[in-house]
């Protein structure tokens, strides 16, 4: 049976914020890269769980506790299936992308990275995939090296083999840049790193809302993302790691739920994934993330990707036609992010004036200061698109930008 056409008008009804007056107008939300809106079915699922199903998990013999544990573990299975991981043992709940990367740095990193070693990162990483490694490098006397990028915002991979030295202990790369929208060829990068025996961590925070991800096909060693960019709630994220690697890594946080036995002399730990999940987890949020995956899969991940691709193309054409506007990030492969600068106008002013018109965008360095330094700009204004945005939203953005230019004339 042919599915009905992708219809953002109907989908928009699931997002009350889009019909709530904002500065006296309906809101135009073009900031899904900072955090996605959560649709009603996901809110409903969390509300239902919290009202009628909630207690702590992995702790009790009560029916309520066993059922809460089942719901929580079903959510983990949904994530496993979403990423096509081989096992739920490879899916570790975290608070988000940032915590997942810190977990890898503090466990895999501390166990494997020593004085004189190198960590190779790309020039377009978010601070979340720089700072944890810098902290570790400082502690260990290791060194960060950087895969350069072109002015268009594409990684320059010509010298990748030379950058992968016998000292390289990990390569970290973002799949989709949060500033430039660039889709990096992570499968190729992983294959080339593996040929030199180097494991790879992929930051998928901006990729999972827009691309179909198969961690086995990518052969990623670690893959991380946040629930709140994926139509789910904040406070929940995922570390995927290959079982063989996770098993060798020491635990990170210690406490309840991650132990097999504790005495004053010694503690022993349970296996995966619990070894990395000390304390009461974000149960409602994990169930919410599972519901978000159901919701997105119900809309069709391929259909979302195709729709957003077309919308980005439309927006790129429209914004390119504005005199005095320069798009930042012109890679051939891009997803859902459109950064720009306006000649003679600071991005913060652009963002504030658009905001008064009910258009929500982000202005700043987007937690990627090295990208700004590389491009020689202090900041950009960034519009980011989701499956509920429409051509009308793009037209409103264009009108808003023209108004900003008029004010600064």
Interacting positions 196-215 with ligand C6P (CB under 6 A):
203, 205-206
Q: Report the alpha-carbon distance of residue 318 to residue 341 in Å, rounded.
A: 15
Interacting positions 348-367 with ligand C6P (CB under 6 A):
362, 366-367
Select the residue interacting with ligand C6P from 106, 122, 178, 182 (CB under 6 A).
Answer: 178
Min dist. Cβ of residue 363 to ligand C6P (A)? 11
One character per residue 379-408, x = contact with ligand C6P (rule: CB under 6 A): ------------------------------
Residue 163 CB neighbours (<10 A) = 18
Min dist. Cβ of residue 53 to ligand C6P (A)? 26
Among candidates 142, 218, 161, which has minimal Cα distance to 185?
Answer: 218
Q: Report the alpha-carbon distance of residue 148 to residue 375 in Å, rounded.
A: 12
Distances (CA, A) of 87 to 50, 76, 237, 327: 27, 10, 17, 41
3-state SS class at 255: coil
CB 114 within 8 A of CB 87: no
Select the residue interacting with ligand C6P from 36, 96, 181, 351 (CB under 6 A).
Answer: 96
Residue 344 per-residue DSSP state: T
Select the residue interacting with ligand C6P from 32, 98, 168, 339 (CB under 6 A).
Answer: 98
Name the residue nearer to ligand C6P (CB basis): 387 or 405: 387
Select the residue interacting with ligand C6P from 45, 58, 76, 126 (CB under 6 A).
Answer: 126
Min dist. Cβ of residue 384 to ligand C6P (A)? 8
Q: Report the alpha-carbon distance of residue 73 to residue 207 in Å, rounded.
A: 24
Residues serving a catalytic function are: 367
For 131, the enclosing helix (H) or strand (E) is helix 131-140
3-state SS class at 26: strand
Select the residue interacting with ligand C6P from 26, 34, 300, 377 (CB under 6 A).
Answer: 34
Name the residue nearer to ligand C6P (CB basis): 121 or 174: 174
Select the residue interacting with ligand C6P from 38, 119, 128, 394 (CB under 6 A).
Answer: 128
- Using DSSP bridges, classify how beta strands 380-384 and 337-342 pair: parallel, antiparallel or unpaired: antiparallel
Distance of CA 27 to the CA centre of its chain: 24
Tokens matching residue 120: 């190779």
Min dist. Cβ of residue 89 to ligand C6P (A)? 23
From 15-23, 48-56, 93-101, 280-288, span contacting ligand C6P (CB under 6 A): 93-101
Enumerate binding residues for ligand C6P (CB under 6 A): 33-34, 96-98, 126, 128, 174, 178, 203, 205-206, 226, 362, 366-367
């Amino acid at each position: 049976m042919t599915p009905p056409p992708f219809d953002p008008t109907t989908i928009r009804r699931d997002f009350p914020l889009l019909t709530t007056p904002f500065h006296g107008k309906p809101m135009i939300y073009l900031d899904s890269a900072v955090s996605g809106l959560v649709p009603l079915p996901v809110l409903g699922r969390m509300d239902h769980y919290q009202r009628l199903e909630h207690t702590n998990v992995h702790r009790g013999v009560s029916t309520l506790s066993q059922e809460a544990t089942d719901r929580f573990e079903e959510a983990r299975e949904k994530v496993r299936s979403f990423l096509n991981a081989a096992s739920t043992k490879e899916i570790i709940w975290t608070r988000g992308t940032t915590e997942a990367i810190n977990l890898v740095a503090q466990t895999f990193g501390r166990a494997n990275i020593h004085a004189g070693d190198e960590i190779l990162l790309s020039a377009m990483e978010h601070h979340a995939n720089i700072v944890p490694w810098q902290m570790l490098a400082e502690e260990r006397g290791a060194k960060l090296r950087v895969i350069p990028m072109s002015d268009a915002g594409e990684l320059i991979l010509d010298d990748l083999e030379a950058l992968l030295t016998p000292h390289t202990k990990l390569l970290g790369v973002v799949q989709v840049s949060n500033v430039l929208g660039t889709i990096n060829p992570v499968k190729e990068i992983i294959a080339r790193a593996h040929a030199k025996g180097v494991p790879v961590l992929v930051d998928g925070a901006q990729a999972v809302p827009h691309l179909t991800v198969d961690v086995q096909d990518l052969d990623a060693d670690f893959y991380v993302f946040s629930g709140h960019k994926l139509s789910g709630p904040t406070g929940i994220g995922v570390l995927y790691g290959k079982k063989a690697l996770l098993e060798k890594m020491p635990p990170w946080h210690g406490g309840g739920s991650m132990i097999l036995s504790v005495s004053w002399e010694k503690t022993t730990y349970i296996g995966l994934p619990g070894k990395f999940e000390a304390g009461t987890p974000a149960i409602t949020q994990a169930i919410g993330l599972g519901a978000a995956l159901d919701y997105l899969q119900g809309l069709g991940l391929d259909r979302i990707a195709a729709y957003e691709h077309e919308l980005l193309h439309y927006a790129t054409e429209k914004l390119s036609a504005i005199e005095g506007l320069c798009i930042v990030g012109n890679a051939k492969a891009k997803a859902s992010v459109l950064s720009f600068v306006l000649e003679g106008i600071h991005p913060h002013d652009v963002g504030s004036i658009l905001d008064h018109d009910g258009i929500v965008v982000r202005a700043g360095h987007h937690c990627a200061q090295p990208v700004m330094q590389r491009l020689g700009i202090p900041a950009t204004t960034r519009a980011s698109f989701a499956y509920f945005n429409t051509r009308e939203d793009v037209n409103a953005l264009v009108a808003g930008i023209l108004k900003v230019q008029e004010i600064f004339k």
